[in-house]
């Protein structure tokens, strides 16, 4: 549900930054909230969309701010068949399909992995942290498939969180990118922060952000006159920042195939194999799969490692590419 705030600047407010002007009038809205709304194109100044929070207002200016009122998230069980790779009294390892989000949040209030877990195991989930994220120790993106571990109790949750914080968890991803990485094997060590232009994206920064380390190696390169240049890559994470692999590949100029947020337009190949072209256009997710997950079991102290095959839609693209380059 949308809420519209209409304001008119008075003479005494002439020269104020628009974000400060709105904050003074609407005290329940924080400067950060107002700034994010402006950056996302929700502000009109005299019927023109403005993306600059520092824009100055003048007497008699008309300001229109659109706010999407958040629907309250609540947890209801969701009858969804989970692909369970491993389970005991302490934890569950799930092979998550693409297209389902991990937990309720802004814009996604039900039909999440958390809702499915509630249906499957009721209240046998850890209660540490956000009440809308029981059992959730770590996350992968909605349109990323692969392995995640869920804690059934607080003891397990705390122990696994410590392993994640110490970067001792083994996490390998498989992805298909545009172009070729140079060098073919390497390490990307940068700071990652939210994009100034789009708060839903992450970007590499030289001066601020959280440390992010991605080790990568090129497994296979597909390149001829019937296919665009694509590379199959494996990434091993040392840190687990939001959109880390997607942001790092964007930084290298090698965007992940099918990534609608970190996308780049590539020229069409005239002689591209028709079946391959159809499969590439049909892909409705990013070609990114959490392939390997390894950790020490919190209670037994056993070293556990799990592996997951590529889903059929991704494997089919690889088969078509391999047939094309024969």
What is the sign, positive or negative, of the torsion defined by CA atoms of 264, 265, 271, 272?
Answer: positive
Using an 8 Å Cβ cutoff, are 245 and 214 in contact? yes
In whole angstroms, give the CA distance from residue 147 to residue 272.
33
In whole angstroms, give the CA distance from residue 38 to residue 49.
9
- Look up residue 218 and give its two tokens: 């090129």
Residue 206, SS3 per DSSP = coil
In whole angstroms, give the CA distance from residue 57 to residue 53.
11
Query: Which residue in 90, 141, 143, 259 is the catalytic one?
Result: 141
The DSSP secondary-structure symbol of 116 reads: H
In whole angstroms, give the CA distance from residue 188 to residue 16.
42
- Look up residue 226 and give its two tokens: 């019937």
Can you list the positions of beta strands (E) in 76-179? 84-87, 91-96, 145-151, 170-178
The DSSP secondary-structure symbol of 12 reads: G
Strand partners, 56: 17
To the query of whether residue 141 is one of the catalytic residues in this protein, the response is yes
Positions annotated as catalytic residues are 141
């Amino acid at each position: 549900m949308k809420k519209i705030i209409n304001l008119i600047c008075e003479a005494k407010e002439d020269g104020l930054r628009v974000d400060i002007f709105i904050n003074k009038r609407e005290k329940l809205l924080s400067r950060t909230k107002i700034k994010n709304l402006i950056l996302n194109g929700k502000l009109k100044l005299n019927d023109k969309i403005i993306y600059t929070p520092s824009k100055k207002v003048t007497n008699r200016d008309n300001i229109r701010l659109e706010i999407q009122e958040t629907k309250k998230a609540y947890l209801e069980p969701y009858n969804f068949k989970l692909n369970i790779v491993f389970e005991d009294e302490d934890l569950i390892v799930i092979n998550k399909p693409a297209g389902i989000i991990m937990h309720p949040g802004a814009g996604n209030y039900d039909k999440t992995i958390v809702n499915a877990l509630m249906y499957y195991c009721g209240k046998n989930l850890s209660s540490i942290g956000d009440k809308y994220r029981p059992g959730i120790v770590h996350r992968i993106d909605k349109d990323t498939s692969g392995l995640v571990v869920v804690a059934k109790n607080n003891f397990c949750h705390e122990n696994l969180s410590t392993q994640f914080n110490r970067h001792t968890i083994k996490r390998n991803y498989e992805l298909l990118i545009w172009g070729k990485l140079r060098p073919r094997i390497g390490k990307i060590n940068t700071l990652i922060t939210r994009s100034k232009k789009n708060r839903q994206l992450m970007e590499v920064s030289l001066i601020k952000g959280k440390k992010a380390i991605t080790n990568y190696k090129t497994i296979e390169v597909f390149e001829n006159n019937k296919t665009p240049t694509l590379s199959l890559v494996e990434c091993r994470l040392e840190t687990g920042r939001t959109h880390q692999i997607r942001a790092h590949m964007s930084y290298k100029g090698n965007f992940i195939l099918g990534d609608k947020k970190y996308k780049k337009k590539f020229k069409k190949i005239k002689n591209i194999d028709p079946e391959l072209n159809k499969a590439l256009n049909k892909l409705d997710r990013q070609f990114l799969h959490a392939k390997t997950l390894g950790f020490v079991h919190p209670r037994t102290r056993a070293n556990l490692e799990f592996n997951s095959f590529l889903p059929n839609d991704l494997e089919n693209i690889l088969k078509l590419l391999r047939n094309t380059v024969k």
